[in-house]
């Protein structure tokens, strides 16, 4: 197996990234950033964008947290937990920005804990059950490649707060993508069983790709990442057959409500509690 070139290629332009940027870098990414909504930026559209990006991150973080005590090795358990913390940090900043600009004054807890499944706007790929390790790795690869492409564009957003959040997120997501690519190649080019499971994971993720390519023109970048990784692993590219509907409009799978019930249970049972 020779897969170093895959992660080195994917890491180009991100050589100085901190691996666990949210877990180890405690500088406030919004320090000194003007929080006023710039002229010409629609506050409602900005808030909606922040909520969708935050929902993607929160739901993905919750799924990654489910690997705690279940990952195949302790090192991977720590890695997945830290990736989840990165995404949770992104969600908190984005929810806070949404509450600042949407006129409601809601805080991050209100968005995360006190909305029902139909009010969430995350892509459905994020809410699917973890399945086996191969599925979670392939899902993470696609999600990280897609989100990184988004965030790289958002660093030039006219809202300086969103641009600052995106700039911080790029550092985190570049490593998420690299980590997932490394494991996807290792599994695809491993045993017959790991190869079978990784190929199956690619097939399972494929129907949800269409939902990812509707908001921004990132399709070519994400497909290019998948092509490089599958070629290095000796696996076929997944066949693209998009499912109808979209989590962006509140059309979710039956898996989101149980996930949110677990996530929101304590906060809803004790709505006035502080900790």
Domains along the chain with CATH numbers: 4-27+39-269 (1.20.1260.10)
What is the rounded average pLDDT for all residues in the chain? Answer: 90
> Above 60 in pLDDT, residue 237?
yes
Q: Rounded CA gap, 223 and 240, in Å?
A: 10
Q: Please tell me the predicted confidence (pLDDT) of residue 103.
A: 87
Q: Rounded CA gap, 106 and 210, in Å?
A: 32
Q: State the DSSP H helix or E strand holding residue 258, giving kind and residue range, or none if neither.
A: helix 256-269
Percent of the chain with pLDDT over 70: 89
Q: Please tell me the predicted confidence (pLDDT) of residue 161.
A: 97
Q: Please tell me the predicted confidence (pLDDT) of residue 22.
A: 38
pTM, entire model: 0.89
> Using N-to-C axis directions, what is the helix angle for 74-101 and 133-154, rounded to 10°?
40
Q: Please tell me the predicted confidence (pLDDT) of residue 20.
A: 37
Q: How many residues are recorded in the chain?
A: 275
Average pLDDT of 207-220? 85
């Amino acid at each position: 197996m020779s897969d170093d070139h895959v992660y080195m290629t994917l890491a180009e332009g991100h050589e100085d990234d901190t691996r666990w940027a949210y877990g180890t870098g405690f500088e406030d990414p919004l320090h000194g950033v003007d929080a006023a909504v710039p002229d010409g930026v629609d506050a409602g559209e900005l808030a909606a964008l922040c909520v969708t990006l935050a929902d993607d991150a929160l739901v993905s973080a919750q799924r990654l947290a489910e690997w705690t005590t279940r990952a195949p090795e302790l090192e991977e358990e720590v890695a997945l937990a830290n990736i989840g913390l990165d995404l949770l940090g992104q969600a908190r900043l984005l929810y806070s920005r949404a509450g600042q600009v949407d006129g409601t004054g809601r805080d991050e807890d209100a968005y995360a804990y006190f909305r029902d499944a139909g009010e969430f706007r995350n892509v459905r790929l994020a809410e699917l059950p973890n399945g086996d390790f191969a599925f979670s790795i392939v899902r993470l690869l696609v999600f990280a490649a897609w989100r990184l492409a988004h965030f790289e564009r958002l660093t030039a957003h006219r809202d300086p707060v969103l641009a600052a959040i995106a700039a911080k997120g790029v550092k985190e997501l570049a490593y998420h993508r690299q980590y997932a690519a490394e494991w996807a190649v290792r599994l695809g080019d491993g045993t017959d069983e790991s190869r079978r499971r990784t190929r199956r994971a690619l097939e399972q993720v494929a129907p949800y790709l269409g939902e990812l390519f509707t908001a921004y023109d990132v399709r070519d970048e994400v497909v290019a990442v998948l092509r490089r990784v599958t070629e290095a692993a000796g696996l076929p590219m997944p066949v693209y057959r998009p499912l109808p509907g979209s989590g962006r409009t509140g059309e979710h799978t039956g898996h989101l409500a149980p996930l949110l019930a677990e996530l929101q249970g304590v906060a809803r049972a004790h709505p006035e509690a502080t900790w």
